[in-house]
């Protein structure tokens, strides 16, 4: 047995629920622990353990990421009424991702994993298109009102310092209607811009940012101006040195251009635009199980995870003893993403190299025709394609990895 690779700084691990918890353990046992000497700060975010600790464990995990810098998270149940019954929970605890995101103040980047035997629906896309979605404000935190009859709508702003209130006329309603008021924070938009520029510089890819600034001259144009100012003040030179670009364009133009690009870009989007467009990119690129996700905080903290959930339906089959064919690709890439970042921050190239070798082993396995059921439906039809079960897929990757490491 060759000497294990030392991961210098402690990694924060957040375990999760259901089928992803099952795959998580296999990935660790078969792909990582045989080769790595790591110090792990482990947090069990199993829904029952969150309940037992009154969700304290989620807050502790977020604080550990703030302490060490890099966290890797398994998918977790966000409890609803059904889950409260299923697991006899004290209450429907908040989404752990929401809690962690609020504490780290981050932007979520989603990037598809591409393999050469699954073609994106858009034929010009050769490299991944990453979406950077602002995770604050807009319709997710808005005010809505039903107007029952004819009348005048005004908004009143009352300054906190006791200055005179300011009333602004909005609309004369000739009859019944509906109203929506969105807001955002300049500080949050600035954090979003910084997270996007940080991510793009690390990945050495161009940044596109698009809003509807021609119509929305204060709100959407405000986003544009904050991005433009932040770029000019703090990023222009670094981008030029790295040979990458930032540009702003109207969202209509970005949507048209995205269909012609070969990819390899970061597309930064407001909250709602990012929500919708990331689903479009995921679907056009293949399967949910092939989408990675990382939360980048403006304070230099990183949290890696799969974009999908706990794959509940497969877990129930697994519990009944039936065979499953769940895809661990995005979970593996959560680990390799975190390990690569840890290696970069620690200045340990052997850890960075190992992360890449695991990714190569996973990609080569699928490209060699061994895959889970979700991918078999999408891949180019070849007689040599072989569907494997959940564990068989990880075993096949482990065998490829072993060959790669030991020649
Ligand atoms: P899901 O776990 O993403 O699964 C939805 C469907 O997508 C699955 O039923 C499966 O389709 C397919 N799929 C997703 N991941 C797959 C994989 N790795 N391999 C193969 N197929 C995969 O979403 P959900 O079932 O709606 O949600 C389950 C739980 O996850 C919920 O309790 C939710 O709260 C939680 N969730 C957590 C996160 C997170 O922690 N980041 C995100 C989303 C949801 P088929 O059944 O057709 O095979
Ligand atoms: Mg969506």
Q: Is the CB of 292 under 6 A from ligand 1?
A: no
The tens place of each residue's pLDDT in the chain, 407 residues long, gives 578 999 999 999 999 999 999 999 999 999 999 999 999 999 999 999 999 999 999 999 999 999 999 999 999 999 999 999 999 999 999 999 988 988 887 789 999 999 999 998 899 999 999 999 998 888 888 899 999 999 999 999 999 999 999 999 999 999 999 999 999 999 999 999 999 998 999 889 999 999 999 999 999 999 999 999 999 999 999 999 999 999 999 999 999 999 999 999 999 999 999 988 988 898 888 788 999 999 988 888 999 999 999 999 999 999 999 999 999 999 999 999 999 999 999 999 999 999 999 999 999 999 999 999 999 999 999 999 999 999 999 999 999 999 999 87
Question: Which tokens sit at 105?
Answer: 């103040």
Round to whole Å and give the CA distance between 7 and 70.
12
Are 252 and 320 in the same domain? Answer: no
285, 302, 337: which is the final residue of a domain?
Answer: 285
Q: What is the pLDDT of residue 300?
A: 86
Q: Is the CB of 95 under 6 A from ligand 1?
A: no
Range of 230's domain?
119-141+184-285
Q: Which residues contact 200 (CB under 8 A, 6 or more apart)?
A: 206, 207, 239, 244, 246, 266
Considering its fold, how many domains does the chain have in total? 3
Integer-rounded Cα Rg, in Å, for the chain is: 23
Round to whole Å and give the CA distance between 163 and 166.
9
Q: Which is nearest to 88 in space by CA: 48, 144, 115?
A: 48
Q: What is the pLDDT of residue 1?
A: 57
The residue whose two tokens read 């870009």 is 265
Are 6 and 114 in the same domain? Answer: yes
Are 134 and 205 in the same domain? Answer: yes
Q: Is the CB of 324 under 6 A from ligand 1?
A: no
Q: Which ligand is nearest to the CA of 47?
A: 1
Round to whole Å and give the CA distance between 79 and 186.
32
For residue 274, the CA-to-ligand 2 centroid distance in Å is 8
Q: What is the pLDDT of residue 366?
A: 97
Phi, psi of 236 (to 5 degrees): -50, -50
3 state DSSP class of 111:
strand
Are 212 and 303 in the same domain? Answer: no
If one residue of 21, 294, 308 were mutated to test the ligand 1 pocket, choosing by the most ligand atoms within 8 A of its CB, it would be 308
Are 110 and 4 in the same domain? Answer: yes
Are 278 and 294 in the same domain? Answer: no
Give me the residues near ligand 2 (ion), CB cutoff below 5 Å: 275, 279
Q: Is the CB of 99 under 6 A from ligand 1?
A: no
Are 167 and 202 in the same domain? Answer: no
For residue 295, the CA-to-ligand 1 centroid distance in Å is 19
For residue 282, the CA-to-ligand 2 centroid distance in Å is 10
Whether 35 and 354 have beta carbons less than 8 Å apart is answered as yes
Whether 304 and 341 have beta carbons less than 8 Å apart is answered as yes
Are 9 and 150 in the same domain? Answer: no
Q: How deeply is 400 buried, as exposed, middle or buried, from its count of CB atoms within 10 A (0-12, 13-18, 19+)?
A: buried
Are 128 and 268 in the same domain? Answer: yes
The residue whose two tokens read 């979406």 is 131
Q: Which residues contact 388 (CB under 8 A, 6 or more apart)?
A: 325, 370, 371, 372, 395, 396
53: CATH: 3.40.718.10
Question: Which tokens sit at 301?
Answer: 């903290």
What does pTM read for this prediction? 0.89
Q: Which residues contact 52 (CB under 8 A, 6 or more apart)?
A: none
Q: What is the pLDDT of residue 336?
A: 98
Are 18 and 64 in the same domain? Answer: yes
Are 56 and 198 in the same domain? Answer: no
Q: How many CB atoms lie within 10 A of CB 55?
A: 18
Are 14 and 85 in the same domain? Answer: yes
Round to whole Å and give the CA distance between 299 and 198.
10
153, 181, 209: which is the final residue of a domain?
Answer: 181
Q: Which residues contact 59 (CB under 8 A, 6 or more apart)?
A: 99, 103
For residue 67, the CA-to-ligand 2 centroid distance in Å is 31
Atom 37 of ligand 1: nearest residue by CA position: 309
Q: What is the pLDDT of residue 139?
A: 86
- The closest-lying atom of ligand 1 relative to the alpha carbon of residue 331 is 18
Question: Which tokens sit at 280?
Answer: 């479009």
């Amino acid at each position: 047995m060759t000497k294990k690779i030392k991961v210098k700084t402690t990694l924060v691990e957040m375990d999760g629920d259901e089928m992803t918890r099952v795959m998580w353990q296999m990935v660790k046992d078969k792909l990582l622990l045989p080769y790595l000497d790591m110090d792990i700060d482990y947090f069990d975010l199993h829904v029952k353990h969150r309940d037992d600790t009154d969700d304290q464990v989620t807050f502790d995990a977020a604080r550990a990421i703030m302490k060490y810098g890099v966290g890797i998270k398994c998918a977790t149940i966000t409890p609803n009424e059904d889950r409260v019954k299923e697991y006899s929970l004290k209450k429907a605890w908040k989404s752990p991702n929401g809690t962690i995101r609020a504490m780290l103040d981050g932007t979520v980047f989603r990037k598809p994993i591409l393999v050469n035997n699954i073609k994106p629906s858009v034929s010009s896309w050769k490299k991944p298109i990453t979406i950077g979605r602002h995770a604050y404000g807009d319709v997710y935190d808005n005010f809505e009102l039903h107007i029952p009859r004819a009348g005048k709508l005004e908004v009143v702003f009352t300054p906190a310092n006791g200055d005179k209130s300011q009333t602004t006329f909005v609309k004369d309603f000739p009859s019944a209607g509906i109203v929506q008021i969105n807001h955002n924070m300049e500080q949050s938009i600035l954090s979003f811009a910084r997270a996007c520029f940080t991510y793009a510089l690390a990945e050495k890819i161009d940044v596109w940012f698009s809003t509807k600034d021609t119509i929305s001259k204060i709100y959407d144009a405000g986003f544009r101006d904050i991005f433009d100012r932040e770029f000019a003040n703090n990023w222009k030179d670094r981008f030029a040195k790295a040979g990458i670009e930032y540009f702003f364009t109207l969202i209509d133009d970005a949507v048209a251009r995205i269909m012609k690009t070969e990819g390899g870009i970061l597309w930064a989007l407001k909250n709602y635009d990012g929500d919708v467009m990331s689903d479009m990119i995921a679907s056009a690129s293949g399967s949910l199980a092939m989408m990675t996700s990382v939360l980048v905080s403006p304070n230099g903290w990183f949290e890696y995870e799969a974009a999908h959930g706990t794959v509940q339906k497969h877990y129930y089959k697994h519990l009944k003893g039936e065979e499953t064919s769940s895809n661990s690709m995005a979970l593996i890439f959560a680990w390799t993403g975190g390990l690569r970042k840890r290696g970069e921050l620690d200045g340990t190239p052997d850890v960075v190299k190992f992360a890449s070798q695991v990714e190569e082993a996973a990609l080569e396995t699928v490209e060699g025709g061994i895959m889970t059921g979700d991918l078999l439906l999408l891949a180019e039809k070849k007689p040599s394609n072989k569907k494997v079960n959940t564990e068989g897929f990880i075993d096949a990757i482990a065998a490829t990895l072993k060959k790669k490491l030991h020649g």
